[in-house]
């Protein structure tokens, strides 16, 4: 079990759904990010929600619907440099502040997102 898998138990499904909602509200307001995403953000929001549900120790619906995440590979379609990483991370941290889960869960989630966002960089 990875250390992030206790998050689902700590905050529950509704909070994770809300985090994905808040994240995409940020994306919609950020031109640098928005132009990378499809016009209709709702399906992307659902994919992120199901992915996070799984990573944080909840149901594996993402795996059933989308297969193995292989996230870095799935992101090779976009040029992800440190600047766009900052936009993404900033949007996620704002979403997390808005959600404001209990401190222990929040710190774990911040740690996870920083690590995952760095891992997604595929361009100088
Ligand atoms: C670092 C900068 C990042 C950028 C610019 C970026 C951008 C994108 C874009 C444009 C999509 C396509 C939207 C869609 O149709 O689903 C996407 C998909 C996705 N991203 Fe990211 N992303 C980044 C980092 C991350 C991180 C750190 C995570 C995980 C914590 C993540 C999780 C996902 C997931 C789960 C999908 C849907 C994959 C699928 O099932 O097809 N992304 N991302």
Q: Where are the domains of the chain?
A: 3-119
Cβ of 24 closer than 6 Å to ligand 1, yes or no, is: no
pLDDT at position 3: 84
Atom of ligand 1 nearest to the CA of 119: 27
Q: What is the pLDDT along the chain (124 residues), one digit of tens a residue?
A: 788 999 999 999 999 999 999 999 999 999 999 999 999 999 999 999 999 999 999 999 999 999 999 999 999 999 999 999 999 999 999 999 999 999 999 999 999 999 999 999 999 9
Distance of CA 43 to the CA centre of its chain: 14
pTM higher than the cut 0.95: yes
Instruction: Give, in order, the Cα–Cα distances in Å from 46 to each of 2, 62, 83, 86, 118.
Output: 23, 9, 25, 22, 22
Tokens found for residue 110: 């911040």
| Alpha-carbon gap, residue 62 to 9, rounded angstroms | 18
Q: How far is the CA of 22 from the centre of ligand 1 (A)?
A: 15
The listed CATH number (3.40.50.880, 2.40.50.140, 1.10.490.10, 3.40.50.300) that belongs to domain 3-119: 1.10.490.10
Q: Of all protein residues, whose CA lies closest to atom 21 belonging to ligand 1?
A: 75
Backbone angles phi, psi at 53, to 5 degrees: -55, -45
């Amino acid at each position: 079990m990875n250390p992030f898998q206790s998050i689902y138990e700590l905050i529950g499904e509704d909070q994770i759904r809300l985090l994905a909602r808040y994240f995409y509200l940020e994306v919609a307001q950020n031109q640098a990010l928005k132009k990378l995403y499809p016009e209709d953000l709702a399906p992307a929001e659902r994919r992120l929600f199901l992915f996070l549900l799984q990573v944080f120790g909840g149901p594996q619906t993402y795996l059933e619907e989308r297969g193995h995440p292989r996230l870095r590979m799935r992101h090779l379609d976009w040029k992800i440099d440190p600047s766009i990483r900052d936009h993404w991370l900033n949007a996620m941290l704002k979403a997390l502040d808005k959600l404001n889960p209990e401190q222990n869960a929040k710190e774990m989630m911040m740690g996870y997102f920083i690590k995952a966002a760095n891992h997604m960089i595929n361009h100088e």
